[in-house]
Structure 1
Amino acid sequence: MSAHPTTPTASLGEMHASVAVPSGGHWWFRLLAFLGPGYMVSVGYMDPGNWATDIAGGAQFGYLLLSVILLSNLMAIVLQGLSARLGIATGRDLAQSCRDHFSKPVNLCLWLLCELAIIACDLAEVIGTAIALKLLFGLPLLMGAIITAVDVVLVLWLMNRGFRALEAFVIALLLVIFACFAIQIALAAPPLHAVLGGFIPRAEVVTNPHALYLAIGIIGATVMPHNLYLHSSIVQTRAYPRTDPGRRSALRWAVTDSTMALMLALFINAAILILAAAVFHANGRTDVQEIEQAYELLAPMLGVGIASTLFAVALLASGINSTVTATLAGQIVMEGFLRLRIAPWARRLITRGIAIVPVVIVTAIYGEQGTARLLVLSQVVLSMQLPFAVIPLVMFVGDKARMGALVAPRWLLGLAWVIGAVIVLLNVKLLVGFFGG
């Protein structure tokens, strides 16, 4: 099993090394050239699947679980840094590296698990976008879910315009989400000392079983498995010199980009929880757990009509944004594991079609309340897949024969194994809790 096949196929084909990187000039221009992949990855850390856990956490426990959001974000920064390291050092994405290293049956299992995770993520996007369309335009949830299939046209148009167009679209929507929450936080005016105190870890997170369950849910919903495949591929869209000094420089800029982007994701996730704490928990509404409940209560409790609209606009932007990155991740995984290349529009329609079916069935049988449970189930499915992405990644970045000069140092490798173990243990606990009722 060779680490480098004789005829390697470039990840993402025509987009590979398509973004120019200046060799000289001010450092600012090199940073701008590398700005983008981190923001595309950060989308997965604030998708609609995160909203329910953040809202419930803030409503029930105030600012207590902000420390958990911070911890999960720090874990994400380390893992995404390793993902970028793998792509830059080897010229192979995580799916291709798995194909190079593991046997056919193992690769087939890993591919199926990853596809399941992408469908689960897409399920959360369908539900989130459909809820946003219902809140903003009064569309029935079922109709909203079917309308989400049209986004294939948007994705196809963006992909035809080049990788920079994709990145610009994603960053623009992230700025919309950021602005919506910045205004809402200003309207809610949470006490600064309570917010800052929430970032300090406290024993109650572990000793209170309800807080612990929500904490596990937040971590499970934050670190997305398909993001590790995605990042290892899209960092290679930069046309940096494929030499040891060129790769080292590229890694520095790529990690800077992803760290900055994930700090934005930290702000947005924290803002959802802070908003729930300042508006619901502070007024005794600890029962708020669902996105629609939050929307209905925000305007009357804040006394500002636009608050609920801003919330729904941010949710819609989050759902649309996740569509772009899920499509790319699906393409990378299919090409990497199977060397099977199909048109992006066909890939998008298949994935979205599979995701829409359970939403339609559940809405038809259980009504719109059933979709909230389906949203939770999608996060559980993602949690189940996470170890199968994290463990191979950490294995590969510690392999000197594969990584060469960019092999992960021992301290980083040790930290990554600890993070991997924590995530696996917490997700096992989440699964036991979920299936044990």
Structure 2
Amino acid sequence: MHSSSPPSHDDSSAQTLQSEHAQMSAVNSAFKTVLHHFKKHVGIGIICAVGYFDPGNWSVDIQAGASFGYRPMLFVIFLAGIIAILFQVLAARLGCVTGLDLAHHCRLLLHDHPTHPLLVRRLVLYPLYALCEIAIISTDLAELLGSAIGLSLLFPKLPLWSTVLLTGFDVFIFLIIGDPSRTGRPVRFFELVIIILVAIVFVCFILLLVKVHPNWPQVFLGFIPSEGLLQTQPNAVYTAIGIIGATVMPHSLFLGSNLATQDRVSQPPQPLPTPADARQPPFLPRLKRLWRSILYFSRSERDDGKDYTSRHEFRQNNSIEFIRAHLGYGTVDVIFSLLGLAVPINSAILILAATMFYSPDNNNSIGLVTMHTLMLQRLGAAAALIFALALVCAGQTASVTATLAGQIVSEGFIMWNVSPFVRRLLTRLISLIPSMIVAISSGGAGINALLIGSQVVLSVVLPFVAFPLIYLTSSKMVMTVKTPKVIQEKVIDTLPIPSTHTVSLVSDAMSTHQRPLPVTTDIDVVERNLENHDGSIKHPSTQACGTQEYGVVDFSNGYIVTVLACAIWVVVLIANVYAIVMLAMGQTGS
């Protein structure tokens, strides 16, 4: 009998080396994939997250920490972050699937109503646009004031009105960086500047938390829901509502939906240089266009080939390849940015205030200037300097995103295609004039009152912006994508994130005069009766080359998401009404 010999030591070593090599290759491949998508997709979420820790949030968080401590307000901050994630993800889905932002969709939905177009425009579209503009101006006002206060804290010899004036001109700096809302592609330098400023804010709060030594067990307990919110003094409810109202920013929904339409994967076409361009440095043509736009206030039309006028039932959404390449990664980017930046920074502000100033009988109002003064007295000049630097960086980044959102809103609602310089200058001037008047006449106290008032305005506008977002993303007519039959069979297996993603086969008439087919939700093959130009009906099987089969992939919200979004919308609406009533009665939590 022949017995098999045991494997030699060399064979075992070779197998071990091969296994280790395969593992290293898999790890290396995974790392390269993560790095690739990090370079391509990270940016949108961070830009949207900026609006969720602007100076308006700082004021509310500081007062909440000083008045009520860690619990239950840290849980409210976490809850507000979850609400913001839901709305922001819906905005990103709308832009990625349809190729249009929320403002343009509102116009398509309301401008040419099939039965009462003029009535709907005057009673719904234009009032909604006015509310959005008021929200943009209020947001920009809060960012302008926060940056001005931060500059005055960094440079105490400067009067407050001069810092307001200096902050008002930051728009010119960021105008040179680029305009990501008009290129159809990401402006990575613009995103890099925002990321650096956000990183400075994040690092500053880490240093401050290390300096104050919070009670970390109590901090972590603060994120657990408790009955303390309802059993403490009534002002706790008002403060909690203020946190939610100041956290979920309407302008970030417009901005996020617009940036989600960008192509972040494919390489842009490179035009061949002309002999004249070849003799010039590569940046000169861009500087000339920028100067011409500023000097002549020229119109800045889009040239991206998108359909901005056809109603939803006639539009063609983005291709399934585009959605597959962007939707999942963009969603992850938004979720991680809000959970990893917005929620921690807001929590850090509240933790600082609670650690330094909280006492059960503390009813004093603590604003940004008071917070800085107390930090200077208790923690020293270095901590106060870090706090002021973080405030300036947060205000500047939020201000840029607010003015950018204003440009998106005006172009979407009323197709106002003025140059970016003119649009941002108008937004900034409307915010700058009342800020200068209040700074000169009332000083810091008036600035704080104006800052709080701007957050009340945002709370009022939020339900009016969130409702069309929920409606549009829940509509199958808006959120469906046609796919050729040859690829529709692979769609369900390759889409990166869960959704309804229902696929069906229908017949599509190639004629441009053909009435659009209704959306289907079954996977079976559906036969449609198509209408001839003369009104007669013929079966699609009789058309030799006039039809082709295509799949319909449904990206609309599922029933659970729709019900959850509607429930949150109702809660936000009731909370904002309650906050306005409390404000009118003078019970503002102070």
**Which of the residues 277, 280, 299 maps onto 2:376?**
299
Residue 271 of structure 1: aligned partner: 348
Distance 1:206 1:166 in 2: 44
Distance 2:174 2:347 in 1: 29
Contact 2:40-2:265 at 8 Å conserved across structures: no
1:47-75 CA-partner distances (Å, limit 9, x unpaired): 00001110001111110200000000000
Residue 223 of structure 1: aligned partner: 248
**Which of the residues 159, 163, 166 maps onto 1:140?**
159
Distance 1:426 1:346 in 2: 36
Distance 2:203 2:255 in 1: 26
The residue matched to 2:479 in structure 1 has which SS?
Answer: helix
Distance 1:396 1:436 in 2: 36
1:33 aligned onto 2:51: no
Alignment of 1:4-403 (within 5 A): 26-64=33-71, 65-103=73-111, 104-105=121-122, 106-138=124-156, 139-159=158-178, 163-207=187-231, 208-239=233-264, 242-263=318-339, 264-281=341-358, 287-302=364-379, 304-403=380-479
Unaligned residue ranges in structure 2 (runs of 5+): 1-31, 112-120, 181-185, 267-317, 481-553
Q: Which moved more, 1:240-249 or 1:264-273?
A: 240-249
The residue matched to 2:226 in structure 1 has which SS?
Answer: coil
Q: Which moved more, 1:365-374 or 1:80-89?
A: 365-374
Q: Which moved more, 1:48-57 or 1:160-169?
A: 160-169
Residue 528 of structure 2: aligned partner: none
Whichever of the two has the greater Rg, that structure is 2
| Deviation, structure 1 residue 239 | 4.0
Q: Which moved more, 1:161-170 or 1:316-325?
A: 161-170
Distance 1:48 1:125 in 2: 6
Q: Which moved more, 1:253-262 or 1:100-109?
A: 100-109
Q: Which moved more, 1:129-138 or 1:66-75?
A: 129-138
Contact 1:34-1:238 at 8 Å conserved across structures: no
Contact 2:68-2:360 at 8 Å conserved across structures: no
| Deviation, structure 1 residue 367 | 3.1
Contact 1:55-1:288 at 8 Å conserved across structures: no
Structure 2 vs 1, CA of residues 283 and 389 (structure 1 numbering), >3 Å: closer, same or farther? closer
1:177-206 CA-partner distances (Å, limit 9, x unpaired): 001000000111101111001111122212
CA RMSD of aligned residues (A): 1.7
In the superposition, the TM-score normalised over structure 1's length comes to 0.91
User: Aligned residue pairs: how many?
Assistant: 412
| Deviation, structure 1 residue 283 | 10
In the superposition, the TM-score normalised over structure 2's length comes to 0.68
Structure 2 vs 1, CA of residues 123 and 112 (structure 1 numbering), >3 Å: closer, same or farther? same
Query: What letter corresponds to residue 425 of structure 1 in structure 2?
Result: I
Query: What letter corresponds to residue 171 of structure 1 in structure 2?
Result: I
Unaligned residue ranges in structure 1 (runs of 5+): 1-24
Contact 1:120-1:379 at 8 Å conserved across structures: yes
| Deviation, structure 1 residue 248 | 3.7
| Deviation, structure 1 residue 226 | 1.0
Distance 1:45 1:305 in 2: 27
Q: Which moved more, 1:340-349 or 1:264-273?
A: 340-349
1:233-275 CA-partner distances (Å, limit 9, x unpaired): 0011224584224314411111100111102111100000000
Structure 2 vs 1, CA of residues 239 and 132 (structure 1 numbering), >3 Å: closer, same or farther? closer
User: Whose strand proportion is higher, 1 or 2?
Assistant: 2
Q: Percent identity?
A: 40
Distance 2:227 2:179 in 1: 51
| Deviation, structure 1 residue 362 | 2.1
Distance 1:300 1:421 in 2: 44
1:14-58 CA-partner distances (Å, limit 9, x unpaired): xxxxxxxxxxx7244124311101100001000000011100011
Contact 2:67-2:360 at 8 Å conserved across structures: no
Distance 2:179 2:214 in 1: 44
1:370-419 CA-partner distances (Å, limit 9, x unpaired): 11111010000111110111000000000001101211111111111111
Contact 2:146-2:392 at 8 Å conserved across structures: yes
User: Whose helix proportion is higher, 1 or 2?
Assistant: 1
